[in-house]
Structure 1
Amino acid sequence: MRVVMFGYQTWGHRTLQALLDSEHDVVLVVTHPRSEHAYEKIWSDSVADLATEHGIPVLIRNRPDDDELLQHLKDADPDIIVANNWRTWIPPHIFNLPRHGTLNIHDSLLPKYAGFSPLIWALINNEPEVGVTAHLMDDELDAGDIVLQQAIPVSPTDTATDLFHRTVDLITPVTTGALALIAAGHTQFTRQDRTQATFFHKRSAEDIRINWDWPAHDLERLIRAQSHPYPAAYTFHKGNRLEILAATVSQNRYGGTPGRIFYRENDGIVIVTGHDARTGNNHGLALTRVRTHTGQELPATEYFTTMGGYLTRRP
């Protein structure tokens, strides 16, 4: 099939590579300009560079809504558009243009975790598995019929970085598998159960600010979800920003006020957590590695030389 590819960052790069390695003919690539957004500078393999290396025409757009782009698409005469990590709305007159419509590749198990940063949100929410979905695009974002979906389990120690590497490896089999079904003439696919749909916004600095009212288990997953190279979860100590790089849930239960720097437990410094910490029924969060506002990275036991005081949400 003749394919036009819309994509960005490593997800788009892997999708384009899968198409290049397939029997399909990539006739045009559309991608975004480079961004300074913190999350868009991560996993930023260039779709444009890969296309150029293979002699494929490239259009760079923030939004696919201009007449010139539409004419290029008509001239390319695609059988299908394949999209992955395209960051803005694709209008119906474009996604319906090819004979087979548009196949979107999304890194979640739709209908859950439509939208942005699905791996991070899924890890925070203690999902037992994550994955990649190929679905046909329709008027509602990430809501079209599912052509193919593959999942991987989430282990108790996985970071978002671990899950990225394992899910990005699913892009090739999901993309090529879905295209094979479509090329073979299949037209009846799995409708999404919209009662199960969830939609998430882009991550920002506010989303990684630690709230000590959260339970320790949730905070421990937040820290794993913000693993390097993602921006680390942070709090404030004595007015200065303190990034939390590693932590575990405490063995014992600790009572008091959320955010209290309380006790040394093994190799960690326990912080009281949970909105109902006053009951003494909660586990704390044992910080094991931190980064100071000056960029110094060190064990929490070296940073916290005395107990007492509080970690706070604001300076």
Structure 2
Amino acid sequence: MRIVFFGFQTWGRRTLQALLDLGHDVPLVVTHPASTQSYKAIFSDSVEELARERGIPVHLTDRIDAETIDLVKRSEPEVNVVNSWYTKWPVELYDLPPHGTLNFHDSMLPKLTGFSPVLWSLISGESHTGLTVHRMDESLDTGDILVQRSMPIGPKDTGTDLVLRTMDLIPDVLREALEALETGNAVWRPQNKAERTYFHKRSEHDSLLDWTLPAEELERFVRALSDPYPSAFSFYRGERIEVLAAHVSEVRYGGTVGRVIVQEGGGAVVCGPNAHRGTNRALVITRVREADGTERPGSEVFARGGYLSHQP
């Protein structure tokens, strides 16, 4: 098929590579300029570099403008394919090709529309994540679904583990979606709006640990924010401390929320919600990164006891 590709970062590069491996004709690649912004700089393999290596014309832009639309029109695609794009599309562009525009989204839509869906799926306690190819429409991630692949979330999976495994689904899902269009066997499934959930863009504040949450939720939170993503953090004796590894305690502990009280299993125990009742398990912090970048065991850093808090 003749396909104009829009994409950015590693997600985009993996999708463009799959298009080329499948033998499709890609007359134009549209991508964003390289960025140092927090989440844009993560998994930042270059779409532009791959396109230029293959001799494909590249259009660099931060947003869809008249020049972009004109270039796509002149490329005469049968379908647009999109993976990892940061700005809104006008109907004039997404409905331009005969088959419209296929967008990749890293969740089992209609759940987890919006931003950073893989991280939010782990934080929010979902049992599965996955990959969806849907037809782009006027709203974010709401178009009819063409292909989906589900993937279980394991009890030890990190956010990075899940992101990488989701990327591994791209080639097969892309192949199935394009074969359905080529053969005329595409079956479009409308999304059930009543089941839709939406998650906002992540910011630095969203990595702050909330010690009033149950230990089980905090443990997932720490796993979700694994390197290279901004780590979970808190404040201890006036310094910012990043929590790199933790687990749920075996014993139930009582005391005050946020209090570091004892050692267990090679880490420091931090009291959580309803700590005064002594009925809940606590979070055991085993590895931290200090403000100077040094990584140390939690048992050493918190040896003096004290409190972890929301602010210095």
What TM-score, normalized to structure 1?
Answer: 0.97
In 1, distance between residues paired with 2:297 and 2:168?
Answer: 33
- Structure 1 residue ranges, 4+ long, deviating more than 6 angstroms after superposition: none
In 1, distance between residues paired with 2:238 and 2:230?
Answer: 20
Q: Counterpart of 1:70 in 2: which secondary structure?
A: helix
User: 1:192 aligns to what?
Assistant: 191
In 1, distance between residues paired with 2:291 and 2:36?
Answer: 21
User: 1:305 aligns to what?
Assistant: 303
In 2, distance between residues paired with 1:154 and 1:282?
Answer: 24
Q: Tell me, yes or no, if structure 1 residue 28 matches structure 2 residue 25.
A: no
Q: Counterpart of 2:97 in 1: which secondary structure?
A: coil
Q: Counterpart of 1:310 in 2: which secondary structure?
A: strand
Which amino acid in 1 is paired with 2:295? E
Cα deviations by residue, 1:31-58 (Å, 9 ceiling, x for unpaired): 1111121111110010011111111111
In 1, distance between residues paired with 2:177 and 2:58?
Answer: 24
In 1, distance between residues paired with 2:34 and 2:200?
Answer: 20
Q: What aligned pairs does 1:235-254 form with structure 2 within 5 A after superposition?
A: 235-254=234-253
In 2, distance between residues paired with 1:188 and 1:292?
Answer: 52
Cα deviations by residue, 1:250-304 (Å, 9 ceiling, x for unpaired): 1111122210011111211100012x22221111000000111111101111112
User: 1:283 aligns to what?
Assistant: 281
Structure 2, unmatched stretches of 5+, are none
Which amino acid in 1 is paired with 2:2? R
In 2, distance between residues paired with 1:257 and 1:182?
Answer: 59
Q: What aligned pairs does 1:219-230 form with structure 2 within 5 A after superposition?
A: 219-230=218-229
Q: What aligned pairs does 1:139-150 form with structure 2 within 5 A after superposition?
A: 139-150=138-149
Q: Counterpart of 1:306 in 2: which secondary structure?
A: coil
In 1, distance between residues paired with 2:69 and 2:228?
Answer: 36
What TM-score, normalized to structure 2?
Answer: 0.98
Q: Is the 8 A contact 2:83 2:104 kept in 1?
A: yes
Q: Counterpart of 2:39 in 1: which secondary structure?
A: coil
Q: Is the 8 A contact 2:146 2:186 kept in 1?
A: no
RMSD: 1.0
Structure 1, unmatched stretches of 5+, are none
User: 2:131 aligns to what?
Assistant: 132
Q: For residue 187 of structure 1, report the CA deviation from its aligned partner.
A: 4.4
Which amino acid in 2 is paired with 1:262? I
User: 2:50 aligns to what?
Assistant: 50
User: 2:178 aligns to what?
Assistant: 179
Q: Counterpart of 2:41 in 1: which secondary structure?
A: coil
User: 1:213 aligns to what?
Assistant: 212
Q: Counterpart of 2:304 in 1: which secondary structure?
A: coil
Which amino acid in 1 is paired with 2:308? L
In 2, distance between residues paired with 1:48 and 1:122?
Answer: 30
In 2, distance between residues paired with 1:255 and 1:224?
Answer: 25
Q: Tell me, yes or no, if structure 1 residue 15 matches structure 2 residue 12.
A: no
Q: For residue 186 of structure 1, report the CA deviation from its aligned partner.
A: 2.8
In 2, distance between residues paired with 1:178 and 1:95?
Answer: 17
In 2, distance between residues paired with 1:243 and 1:96?
Answer: 45
Q: For residue 209 of structure 1, report the CA deviation from its aligned partner.
A: 0.6
Q: What aligned pairs does 1:94-109 form with structure 2 within 5 A after superposition?
A: 94-109=93-108
Report the identity percentage.
Answer: 50
In 2, distance between residues paired with 1:68 and 1:261?
Answer: 58
User: 1:59 aligns to what?
Assistant: 59
In 2, distance between residues paired with 1:194 and 1:35?
Answer: 34
Q: Tell me, yes or no, if structure 1 residue 68 matches structure 2 residue 38.
A: no
Which amino acid in 2 is paired with 1:68? E
In 2, distance between residues paired with 1:299 and 1:43?
Answer: 27
User: 1:293 aligns to what?
Assistant: 291
Q: For residue 23 of structure 1, report the CA deviation from its aligned partner.
A: 2.9
Q: Counterpart of 1:90 in 2: which secondary structure?
A: coil
In 1, distance between residues paired with 2:202 and 2:176?
Answer: 30
